[in-house]
Structure 1
Amino acid sequence: MDKPISILVIDDEPDNFDVIEALLLHEQYHINYASSGIKALERMSVMQPDLILLDVMMPDMDGVEVCKKIKNHLQWQHIPIIMVTALNSKEDLGMCLAAGADDFISKPVNKTELQARIRSMLRLKRQYDNLQELIHLREDMVNMIVHDLRNPLTNIVLCAEILKFPKLSSESQLSKLDQIIIGSRQLQSMINDLLFMAKLEYGRMQLYQKEVDLYQMCTSVLTDFELLAAQNNIKLIGDLPAPGGSVSLDSALFRRVLDNLISNAIKFSPSNSQIILKANYPLPNEVKIQVIDTGTGVSEELRDMIFQKYEIGNVVQGINQTGLGLAFCKMVVEAHGGQITVENNYPTGAIFSVEISTNARVVTQSEIKI
């Protein structure tokens, strides 16, 4: 449930607060009251309202001074302030705006005007909050990406240094070269995810669809991940249609989807297990691909969340999780007019399914040119 909108009314006259409360009775705001600027500043340290209605004419500390103090405070300066004043000269209004006020309303307060100005200021506050949330999200993402890029890069550098050792056996050299290749592919995969997602989000990525043989694409994926799976004692199995099936896809982007799904399955599958890449044409204009593993699985409450950016679902110790791979898959699949889902693989594991309705067609043997 969303947090109720909080409004702080600062006015030395309780009757004025009662008027404001009555005018906003049906707006479902959470309204607080402070009888002076000093009391309001004391309460601001424990309560940050979404909006402040501030009376100008008050004893001890007038509204202009209170406004200056709030706007000079780093943690409070983003809160919109509407000055409530009986003053109406240009100089007085200019003084309020110069103090940092975002808007003003004249006494006696009109209900329609008050509600309209509050809604206007709350829209600005909402935009600010969304921007801050995005900034924090980007900061978290950058920290996460830097951390996850460091791990394969460290492995690459270490293996390259080991290759300098004299009298290193050919078998050890090949092993270290394999680790360098795997680490490089991991780096390339994460960087590609970031670039592709940025282009898709800003509408700069165009789909270059062409007829693709699903069998050949899936076979290529299994071949490329065979080494990584073997290092984890995992067997890759292909349950694929006969060669010659044709489906209209952006082969580069869709190949990245399959790479991400297989890579994730390897990450979360236990040693001495198997992963199945299953593909078929259930209908003439449809294609269905499944990646089936026996790993940790995905709980029901996380099944939608894991396809969102930077959401990583269950945190698993020792496994790089940026929260980008599945979000990228979802964006590409939906750009093709399809959907991606996940379900349990009883008794353990997960089944990721990609279904696309497109101009898929199965090419008959007579159509294949030799």
Structure 2
Amino acid sequence: MSDKTSILIVDDNPNNLQVLGHLLKQENFSVAVSQDGQQALDYIAKKHPDIVLLDVMMPGMDGIEVCERIKANERSRQIPVLFITALSDSEDKMRGFRAGGHDYITKPFLKEEVLARVRAVVDRLQVEAELRKSRKALKEINENLEQKVVERTENLRKLQLQLVLQEKMASIGQLAAGLAHELNNPINFVYTNFTTLEENINDFFHIFVGYRRLIEKQDLAGGDLADLELLHEDEKRAHVDFVLGDIEALFAESREGFKRITWIITSLGNFSRSEQAEEKTTSDLNRAIEDTLVITRNEYKYHCEVETELGNIEPLICIPQQINEVLVNLVVNAAHAIKGQKRASKGKIQIKTYMQDTTVCCEIQDDGPGVPDGIKMRIFEPFFTTKDVGKGTGLGLSISYDIIVNKHSGDFVVQDAEGGGTIFIIRIPLLQQELIGKTYKRSGGTVCKI
């Protein structure tokens, strides 16, 4: 309702219109007049006045019918109607109340009565307006509160899942460190024994060859042929010639196996370094990629071939465990995408690193199904996943984005690969803004200041 209350006076008597109109205008009300019921209804439909003063007795459509039509209309039923009636017309007053009237003004008009009854309605309208305003404000507060509760609950859910993932990564790191430690000792003494055995076998090999030459000379000299024949038969049963030829290959393969085990243990140790979770230090991204491929090999070895093109790049100032987490997510996601195609031949994952001015770049490309354009803008959203229910939390790429963009001041983008598939591109500046003036640890343990 506006500051100036609008009142429509409906009466077929011009004198009544003039008297009431003059009286109300003196009190700063906005006044409009109408001399018949239909004209009044048309005005109400267009202007929607705050109050209607309505004469009961009018030719054609009387005041009772006009009131009933006002109250039957959804848009106008809330408008208060004050009937104008003679002091003795009790029946008219009752009919007016039954039709929906709020009050009445009696004729002949008394100024004090007219103003008192109109002001009472105005006060009521103001109270109702304030009540509506309060209800609206309360509704908005409740909606905002509900929204905040929903947002808070969602944030807590995200935080909880992130903590679970961090705990899992920490547990994996601890497990890897423990596994590397437990394997290292037995591998060392097995390798030592293997080396000693190899030396002993080589000595035996040379001695055995010498014996065979001596026996051959004895055979030619005409010695005890029966015993020599038995010895030859034993050699045949033992496949001595094959064994002698295969010994070198067996030891060569065993040496490669030990190298492989040593490399895995080293990678496990690198992957589970015990720096503080949020502490930045220098790190070799190429080595991190190599370690990641060792750790995740079981995820891709049956479905993908991995090609690497690791360039000559500068050491990164980063949180190594977090960078490892990003690399693991991307390699495993690529492997799962290719696996999901159930193709007859193996897919391919290509990993490339290079410098771009003062920025270290890493591209991880696969020839899987790719990311549809319709969801490309959503893949970094928390909990968004295209995997089947129970096979992914939808947090991997979201957390990776947070690590690269927010925690390392970098860029993390996804592109379509030429010929099909997906390319994830990581760019991390060597000089991150938040590191200026701060100290960090070199991988060797020394502390430096930028």
Q: Which protein is richer in helix relative to its size?
A: 2
Larger radius of gyration: 2
Question: What TM-score, normalized by structure 2, do the two folds share?
Answer: 0.39
User: Which of structures 1 and 2 has the larger relative contact order (alpha carbons within 8 angstroms, sep 6+)?
Assistant: 1
Question: What TM-score, normalized by structure 1, do the two folds share?
Answer: 0.46
